[in-house]
Structure formats: structure tokens, C-alpha cells
């Protein structure tokens, strides 16, 4: 068994997701739970990320659905650590979150953690982080959330409204806890050690239960929240966890924009760059020669273009099955598979960047003036 590491700051090795579920103490999403979600959101097909087991694990999702059925409702919370260059992997949890908001018509709080990024990346100055933050928020908005049911906030800006609650939360968390949960030690700066308190705050924004869609590397934060929430008079947060979008080079680790541009498709890549990157770097499960491929077929399980289509770009199960079967049978060549992906990615980016352009106009609404945002600026949390 290959070794792997999953922390909020590092994902490396080929992740054994079953092992991770045991390590983290989360629960697998099974067929019954998936079917229950389908039923509750009006019988529509569940999002392909859920259908195809990409969102694969949860905490208390069943309780969230109970609350929904009883008419109590729930709310969504996810976040983003602003980065210099966003890549398509960063959009994965956001796309799924949008789907949840669409289906369940609920409020969404989106925390942009400019403070944590600044504390962790000591080479950045504050202005740099703020620039990335503004850029990233446009990409987030482009995903298509409901402007009256979504509040996007920067930690540094909203801090005054949550400061009393932040202190109340911090008072409940010891140094031992953050050492044990996050692997901090005495050389960790006091900002980093303090920060986990802030990441818990949005789970307390409503009296309803909170559901957090995010990659599973963020789960340690939710464990801390779940340890302290009830003692503070709140509910334990629920979570729904995704796997990681594999980097171009192969299905271990996760896509990273800081690890070198050849691992990721950036949201700013043009058509030619996308084509070149995929053709040059995307790890293929195909055979070395066309002849061999025709004879032996490809292996979709380790083929990055296939995985990306499956996870992100091809919602049709029928089409995926066709691709899968053709690829395995050697009818579909590596170059052809890559070409399908290139078209999909370029189509996706074109649409994304059109939406991003429009986001400049709606940013104000998501952050300050929309129905939810406005009400959030009018209150203080104690």
C-alpha cells in the first residue's frame, strides 16, 4: 500500500479513500443516502459528482436531510483560501455547492480566508493576498450562486461582526487540540494556531444545521467544530466530502497551482495552452502505440483525461459509458480521448470567463448589498 498524506495544507501520494474514511472517522455515502437526496430534491438526478462517488463521504448528512424533511431547513457553508492562480480543481466543490443551493434553495456562506493564506504563506505581503482575494471572488461568483441567498466575505473585512463569537470560540480550543488535529508545534506562529477558530465561525451563522461541501482535507476543522459546538449552544456541523481532482500527471496528490503550471489547468489558460498542456502532460491509461492500443485497449481508471471527464466535464452517464467502453475496447485512442477533454475544457473555460466578466457587476451584491449579504452586515455575532 502506497503511503499518502492528507492535511489542509498538503495532499500527496495516492489517496486510499476507504482508509481515509476510517482515519478521519467519517461515513461513506451509500446508495440509500444518495437516493434519499434524489427524492428530497424533487426526483431530479443527483449531480454527477454525487452519482459517481466523487462526493463520497459525509458527517451527519442524514440529519441534514431529516431537518429538511421536517421543514427546519439547513444552510450551506464553504470557503476558499485565495490563491495566485485558480485552477479548475478549485471550482469542483463550488460547482457542487451551487447544485445543492439550486436544489434545496438554501443560504450559502462563503468564507474567503485571506488571513489564513497570509499567515501560512509568509512570502506574501498583505496587498498581494488582497489582489488574489479579489480575483478569486470573481471566479467564485462566476460559478453561478444565488445573489440573494449567498454571502461571500473576506475574513479581514467581516472580522468586526464576528469578533465576540470568535473570542468565545477561541476560548474553547486549547493549544493541545490544534497540535493534535493540525499537526502544529511550538514553532507554529500564533496566528496559524488561532485561525481554526475563525474557520468554525460560519457554522454558527444560523440556528439551523450547517452543511459543508468541501474536499475531505478540510475535515479536521469540522472535527474541532463538532467537539465544541454543543457546549457553546450550537449544533454540530454536517459535512459532505469530495475526493481530489487528480493533477495532469497522474492520479496521486491533488491539483496544485503552486506546484508548477504543468500539473493544472488554470482558469486563465487560453485554448492553445489548454490543448498543449493536456496533450503534453495529461497522464494516459492508453497503450504505447496505436496498434497496441487497438489490441489491448486503455485503462480508464488511471487515465487522467478520462477521470476529469468523469468528475467534472461530462455529466451524461450514457456518454461516459460509451467513452469508457470504447476506450477499454481500444476503439477510442488516447489522442481522441484527449481531444474530447480539450474541447470540453475550452468550452467550460469560455463559459466561465464570460460569467466572470459579468461577476464584476454582481460582486457588490454577493458581498454587501444582496438580501443575505445586507442582513449579515447589519448583525454582530456574540
**Residue 1 to residue 351: CA distance in whole angstroms:** 41
58 binds a copy of itself (CB under 8 A): no
**Residue 294 to residue 286: CA distance in whole angstroms:** 10
Contacts with 219 (C-beta within 8 Å, 6 or more apart), sequence order? 24, 26, 59, 239, 241
190 binds a copy of itself (CB under 8 A): yes
DSSP assignments along 309-325, one per residue: IIIII---HHHHHHHHH
Q: Which is nearer to a copy of itself, 125 or 230 (CB)?
A: 125
- Contacting a copy of itself (CB under 8 A), which of 185, 231, 272, 361? 185
The residue written with cell numbers 481508471 in the block is 301
Main-chain dihedrals φ then ψ at residue 366, nearest 5 degrees: -65, -30
Main-chain dihedrals φ then ψ at residue 347, nearest 5 degrees: -65, -45
- Contacting a copy of itself (CB under 8 A), which of 7, 189, 258, 354? 189
Task: Give Cα 304 to chain centroid, integer Å.
Answer: 19
| Part of the chain binding a copy of itself (CB under 8 A), chosen from 16-24, 35-43, 173-181, 357-365 | 173-181
- Contacting a copy of itself (CB under 8 A), which of 31, 176, 231, 272? 176
Sheet holding 150-154, edge to edge: 27-28, 55-59, 238-242, 209-215, 74-80, 108-112, 150-154
196 binds a copy of itself (CB under 8 A): yes
260 binds a copy of itself (CB under 8 A): no
How many of the chain's residues bind a copy of itself (CB under 8 A)?
37
| Part of the chain binding a copy of itself (CB under 8 A), chosen from 25-33, 59-67, 194-202, 278-286 | 194-202
Q: Which is nearer to a copy of itself, 2 or 176 (CB)?
A: 176
344 binds a copy of itself (CB under 8 A): no
* Pairing status of strand 55-59 against strand 27-28: antiparallel
**CA dihedral of residues 240, 241, 245, 251 (deg, nearest 10):** -150
368 binds a copy of itself (CB under 8 A): no
Q: With contact defined as beta carbons under 8 Å apart, do 235 and 209 qualify?
A: yes
User: Least distance to a copy of itself from the beta carbon of 260, Å?
Assistant: 26
- Contacting a copy of itself (CB under 8 A), which of 11, 178, 312, 367? 178
Contacts with 226 (C-beta within 8 Å, 6 or more apart), sequence order? 59, 236, 237
**Residue 283 to residue 285: CA distance in whole angstroms:** 7
- Contacting a copy of itself (CB under 8 A), which of 69, 72, 131, 191? 191
- Contacting a copy of itself (CB under 8 A), which of 24, 96, 118, 132? 118
231 binds a copy of itself (CB under 8 A): no
* Pairing status of strand 74-80 against strand 108-112: parallel
- Contacting a copy of itself (CB under 8 A), which of 101, 193, 256, 334? 193
Q: Which is nearer to a copy of itself, 220 or 247 (CB)?
A: 220
Q: Which is nearer to a copy of itself, 54 or 118 (CB)?
A: 118
User: Least distance to a copy of itself from the beta carbon of 382, Å?
Assistant: 5
197 binds a copy of itself (CB under 8 A): yes
User: Least distance to a copy of itself from the beta carbon of 360, Å?
Assistant: 23
**Residue 79 to residue 69: CA distance in whole angstroms:** 26
* H or E element at residue 209: strand 209-215
User: Least distance to a copy of itself from the beta carbon of 200, Å?
Assistant: 11
113 binds a copy of itself (CB under 8 A): no
**Residue 203 to residue 234: CA distance in whole angstroms:** 9
Q: What does the DSSP 8-state code read for residue 233?
A: T
User: Which of 137, 133, 138, 68 lies closest to 106, judged by CA?
Assistant: 68
Binding mask 277-296 for a copy of itself (x = CB under 8 A): --------------------
**Residue 285 to residue 251: CA distance in whole angstroms:** 11
Binding mask 153-172 for a copy of itself (x = CB under 8 A): ---xx-xx--xx--xx-xxx
111 binds a copy of itself (CB under 8 A): no
186 binds a copy of itself (CB under 8 A): yes
Task: Tell me which residues touch a copy of itself (CB under 8 A).
Answer: 115, 118-119, 122, 126-127, 156-157, 159-160, 163-164, 167-168, 170-179, 184-191, 193-194, 196-197, 382
Amino acid at each position: 500500500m502506497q503511503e499518502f498524506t492528507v492535511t489542509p495544507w498538503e495532499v500527496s501520494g495516492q489517496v486510499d479513500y476507504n482508509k481515509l474514511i476510517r482515519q478521519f472517522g467519517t461515513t461513506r455515502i451509500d446508495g440509500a443516502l444518495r437516493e434519499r437526496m434524489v427524492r428530497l430534491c424533487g426526483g431530479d438526478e443527483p449531480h454527477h459528482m454525487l452519482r459517481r462517488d466523487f462526493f463520497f463521504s459525509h458527517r451527519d448528512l442524514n440529519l441534514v436531510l431529516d431537518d429538511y424533511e421536517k421543514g427546519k431547513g439547513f444552510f450551506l457553508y464553504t470557503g476558499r483560501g485565495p490563491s495566485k492562480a485558480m485552477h479548475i480543481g478549485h471550482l469542483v466543490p463550488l460547482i457542487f455547492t451551487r447544485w445543492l443551493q439550486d436544489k434545496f434553495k438554501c443560504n450559502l456562506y462563503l468564507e474567503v480566508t485571506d488571513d489564513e493564506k497570509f499567515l501560512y504563506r509568509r512570502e506574501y505581503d498583505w496587498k498581494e493576498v488582497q489582489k488574489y482575494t479579489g480575483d478569486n471572488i470573481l471566479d467564485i461568483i462566476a460559478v453561478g450562486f444565488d445573489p440573494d441567498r449567498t454571502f461571500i466575505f473576506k475574513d479581514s473585512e467581516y472580522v468586526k461582526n464576528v469578533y465576540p463569537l470568535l473570542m468565545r470560540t477561541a476560548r474553547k480550543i486549547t493549544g493541545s487540540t490544534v497540535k493534535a488535529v493540525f499537526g502544529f508545534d511550538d514553532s507554529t506562529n500564533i496566528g496559524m494556531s488561532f485561525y481554526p477558530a475563525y474557520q468554525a465561525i460560519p457554522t454558527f451563522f444560523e440556528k439551523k444545521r450547517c452543511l459543508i461541501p468541501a474536499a475531505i482535507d478540510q475535515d479536521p476543522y469540522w472535527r474541532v467544530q463538532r467537539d465544541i459546538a454543543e457546549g457553546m449552544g450550537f449544533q454540530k456541523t454536517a459535512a459532505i466530502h469530495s475526493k481530489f481532482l487528480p493533477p495532469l500527471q497522474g492520479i496521486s496528490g491533488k491539483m496544485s497551482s503552486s506546484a508548477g503550471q504543468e500539473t493544472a489547468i488554470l482558469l486563465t489558460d487560453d485554448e492553445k495552452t489548454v490543448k498543449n498542456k493536456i496533450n503534453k502532460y495529461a497522464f494516459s491509461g492508453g497503450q504505447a502505440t496505436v496498434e497496441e492500443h487497438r489490441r489491448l485497449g486503455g485503462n480508464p481508471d488511471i487515465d487522467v483525461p478520462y477521470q476529469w471527464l468523469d468528475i467534472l466535464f461530462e455529466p451524461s452517464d450514457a456518454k461516459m459509458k460509451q467513452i469508457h467502453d470504447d476506450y477499454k475496447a481500444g476503439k477510442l485512442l488516447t489522442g481522441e480521448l484527449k481531444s474530447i477533454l480539450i474541447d470540453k475544457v475550452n468550452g467550460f473555460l469560455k463559459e466561465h470567463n464570460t460569467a466572470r466578466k459579468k461577476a464584476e457587476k454582481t460582486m457588490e451584491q454577493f458581498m454587501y448589498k444582496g438580501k443575505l449579504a445586507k442582513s449579515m452586515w447589519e448583525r454582530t455575532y456574540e
